[in-house]
């Protein structure tokens, strides 16, 4: 419990390749969404203190708004991002209950604080957690808002060249789209740990944030007239990884 609530990710202001964070994929029990959101509002105040005291970097709650086929259910309903400066900050021992008491002192009864602390998982059917290390990123050109299009791409590394393709070649394409004000942010992260029931095949995640639902056409790349070199890089770079279907996210809340 303590470790789960000291999991953090600064989804949009990463500062170094040493930064680590955790990604919680949450499946809710049927009819428990409002209860879940109330519990996250309770933790929002606790996270604010943790961040102000330098115990983590940032905290975000995102809703999975990916379209699904009729009759099918989402694997995850919400994602929680927790960011840390490094592994030492992530793994520090924190008295979370004492921090919750401090955050809600004079506003919520001690018995209610203790109840929320002990029953944080009540609305959840399951939670899978990935611990990630930031490998690379572009600049972040646009602040997040409820209307910001956000995507997570789970990846499976197929050969030893994958990370180099992403960081030494494809990153340049993402940077060009940022300069064209199509894309607001791109990041590349490696899975360094996961909980028991999390997908064992996923090795990396990429994150993309766009400027709008209908970004302008790129001024720098002609996708219909790629050079031979570009075609080969896309062919062999694509063969270095296998992608799972992406998740589209909607910003719900942060610690501020």
10-residue mean pLDDT profile of the chain (256 residues): values are 38 52 98 97 97 96 92 92 95 95 95 95 98 96 84 97 97 92 95 97 96 82 85 95 95 95
Q: Which domains does the chain have, with CATH numbers?
A: 4-254 (3.30.70.100)
What pTM value is reported for the model?
Answer: 0.88
Give me the half-sphere count of Cα atoms (radius 13 Å) on the Cβ side of residue 109.
3
Q: What is the pLDDT of residue 3?
A: 41
Q: What is the pLDDT of residue 154?
A: 98
Q: What is the pLDDT of residue 255?
A: 95
- Long-range contact pairs involving 190-197 (C-beta distance under 8 Å, separation at least 24): 190/132, 190/133, 190/135, 190/163, 191/130, 191/131, 191/132, 192/20, 192/131, 192/132, 192/133, 193/130, 193/131, 194/128, 194/129, 194/130, 194/131, 195/127, 195/128, 195/129, 195/130, 197/126, 197/128
Q: What is the pLDDT of residue 16?
A: 40
Q: What is the pLDDT of residue 18?
A: 63
The per-residue pLDDT for range 226-241, each reduced to its tens digit, is 899 999 999 999 999 9
């Amino acid at each position: 419990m303590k470790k789960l609530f000291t999991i953090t990710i600064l989804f949009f202001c990463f500062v170094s390749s040493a930064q680590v964070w955790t990604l919680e994929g949450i499946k809710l029990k049927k009819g428990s969404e409002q209860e879940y959101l109330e519990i996250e509002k309770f933790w929002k105040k606790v996270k604010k203190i943790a961040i102000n005291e330098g115990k983590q970097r940032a905290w975000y709650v995102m809703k999975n708004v990916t379209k699904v086929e009729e009759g099918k259910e989402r694997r995850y309903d919400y994602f929680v991002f927790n960011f840390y400066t490094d592994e030492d900050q992530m793994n520090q021992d924190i008295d979370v209950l004492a921090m919750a008491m401090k955050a809600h002192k004079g506003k919520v009864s001690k018995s209610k604080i203790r109840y929320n602390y002990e029953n944080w998982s009540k609305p959840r059917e399951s939670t899978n957690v990935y611990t990630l290390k930031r490998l690379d990123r572009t600049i972040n050109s646009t602040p997040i808002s409820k209307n910001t299009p956000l995507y997570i791409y789970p990846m499976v590394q197929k050969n030893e060249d994958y990370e180099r393709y992403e960081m030494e070649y494809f990153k340049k394409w993402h940077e060009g789209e940022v300069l064209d004000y199509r894309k607001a942010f791109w990041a590349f992260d490696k899975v360094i740990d996961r909980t028991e029931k999390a997908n064992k095949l996923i090795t990396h995640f990429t994150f993309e944030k766009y400027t709008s639902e209908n970004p302008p056409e790129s001024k720098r790349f002609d996708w219909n007239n790629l050079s031979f070199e570009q075609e080969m890089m896309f062919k062999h770079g694509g063969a270095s990884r296998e992608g799972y279907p992406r998740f589209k996210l909607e910003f719900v809340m942060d610690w501020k």
